[in-house]
Chain A
């Protein structure tokens, strides 16, 4: 426990220390959850312009072979999203909440029905590879995002939570992501 505290205290101090300078309008960061995301934003006054986000999400079949959590990475539906969004943010104490909507380009594949299994030889049992029919698509979608970001840290970073959705005719996707947003670019350049 003591070791854990020694490791965590500097990180907590880094996260909670007040900013030495006000942040610039530009920021960017990463999100991790049931998808991986990178984003860049521009904040001006009460308006938040989410310039872009790129997100990769994947999920397995609900039933059939390969449906276990870590079973067979090739039996995964997947979706890559490139989106531009515009919205507004609202200060909540030292934190901020925001909401945005926009337009997204989607590239993905959606698993269909299970087709066949191939097996390799092994000592006790061999590896199995499961093959599914799938649908490959490109589409335009309506991306939505609501999020909450914590107080600004010493290095002008904010930790947050983002709820993302993308409505489209092929496969609507929903993601919950922990985000790290760094907004020191503008000031560091000065």
Chain B
């Protein structure tokens, strides 16, 4: 019988301890990417957290997008002021057709716009729509449309407005649902920075 060596004693203590330590997490945290603050590289941007997940829409321009725009408005973020009615729309991740991911269209509408102030959103014309990307020729039923929940906050705070350049900045909060009592989508920390048409 071979003697029980010093090395074997060392291994007998060390190996079980290793196996125990191999299952140990010291710290761990799940991190969502931060929302952009202001415009992204000088292009109009609208962003918010939708049920805690970041959603960002921003424009970029190129020769191709300019040509495409000749056949219709393909901008991800746009806004216009008609009289005192301010209408903003944003579509996030227009090319995010990965892994069945969805994208979203948001229309924000406020009345009696007069510059920096806090405004309630129009409950009839403000909406949020879920869109499922599809391949060419593939039929996908239209996604559900969400409307503001009456009892929940739905307001826009205009923080900056330059009438000469039509540059508007602000924040918003909004809770929407497809029907009363249906699961809601809560948009928090909303922010926009765009030049109106």
A124 with B25: in contact, given A63-B98, A115-B32 (CB under 8 Å)? no
Q: Does B3 contact A (CB under 8 A)?
A: no
Interface residues of chain A: helix, strand, loop or mixed (majority): strand
Nearest B-chain residue to A119, judged by Cβ: B60
A124 with B62: in contact, given A101-B18, A114-B99, A116-B54 (CB under 8 Å)? yes
Q: Does A35 contact B (CB under 8 A)?
A: no
Whether the Cβ atoms of A103 and B21 lie closer than 8 Å is yes
Q: A137 contacts which chain B residues (CB < 8 A)?
A: 25-29
Whether the Cβ atoms of B62 and A169 lie closer than 8 Å is no
Q: Does B22 contact A (CB under 8 A)?
A: yes
Q: Does A68 contact B (CB under 8 A)?
A: no
Q: A135 contacts which chain B residues (CB < 8 A)?
A: 28-31
The smallest beta-carbon distance between A88 and chain B, in angstroms, is: 10
Q: Does B43 contact A (CB under 8 A)?
A: yes
Neighbour of A118 across the interface among B19, B22, B32, B36, CB < 8 A: B36
Interface residues of chain B: helix, strand, loop or mixed (majority): mixed
Nearest B-chain residue to A67, judged by Cβ: B98
Size category, B interface: 35 or more
Whether the Cβ atoms of B31 and A131 lie closer than 8 Å is no
In B1-52, the 8 Å CB interface with A consists of: 14-15, 18-19, 21-33, 36, 40-43
Q: Does B93 contact A (CB under 8 A)?
A: yes
Interface segment among A15-23, A139-147, A153-161: the answer is A139-147
Nearest B-chain residue to A135, judged by Cβ: B30
Q: A133 contacts which chain B residues (CB < 8 A)?
A: 30-33, 53
Binary B-proximity of A103-144 (CB < 8 A = 1, otherwise 0)? 100000100101111111111111010011111111111100
